[in-house]
Amino acid sequence: MIDFQKSGGLVPAIAQDHQTGEVLMMAWMNQEAFDETRRTGKAVYFSRSRNKLWRKGEESGHVQTVKGIFVDCDADTVLLKVDQIGGAACHEGYKSCFFRELAGEELKVVAERVFDPKAVYEK
């Protein structure tokens, strides 16, 4: 159903707000993460830096409830439509990880923080 072999076991997975269409983040999935996402209805990714399953929200409580799973034409990218609990997907406290826009030679922050990362991750 998904071609996990093409990219060495991992495929990109995009999470999008199912209501507003805002792109929240991009992460990676292996077969196990994909299967657990389908089974539980909550987004599970594979963390390349920690080299293990990443149950989104396991630390912050900001889980993503999956409303729909879409697959692209080449079957090597996944798009999740989600309900982002807590209102923010980004560990830096923004709704979307794409909170910076290129303006000339600068990256400009174009969103407001939903939460203070220190308060969420260092409790």
Tokens of 91: 């560990």
Name the amino acid, one letter, at 98: F
Residue in the structure block whose two tokens are 């979307």: 96
Nearer to its own copies, 52 or 70 (CB): 70
Q: Which of 35, 58, 92, 116 binds its own copies (CB under 8 A)?
A: 92
98 binds its own copies (CB under 8 A): yes
Lay out the site mask for its own copies across 5-44 (x = CB under 8 A, - = otherwise): -------x-x-x---xxxx-xx-----------x------
Q: Which one of 39-47, 54-62, 63-71 is the stretch in contact with its own copies (CB under 8 A)? A: 63-71
Give kind and range of the element (H or E) at residue 17.
strand 11-17
The C-alpha atoms of residue 115 and residue 43 are separated, in whole angstroms, by 20
Per-residue exposure over 24-57, b if at least 16 CB sit within 10 Å of its own CB, e if not? bbebbbbeebbebbeeeebbbbbeeeeeeebbbb
Q: Which of 29, 44, 97, 114 binds its own copies (CB under 8 A)?
A: 97
Q: Which of 5, 59, 68, 121 binds its own copies (CB under 8 A)?
A: 68
Nearer to its own copies, 42 or 100 (CB): 100
All residues at 6 or more sequence positions from 123 whose CB lies less than 8 Å from its CB, including other chains: none
Positions touching its own copies (CB under 8 A) are: 1, 12, 14, 16, 20-23, 25-26, 38, 68-75, 77, 79, 90-92, 94, 97-102, 105, 107, 110
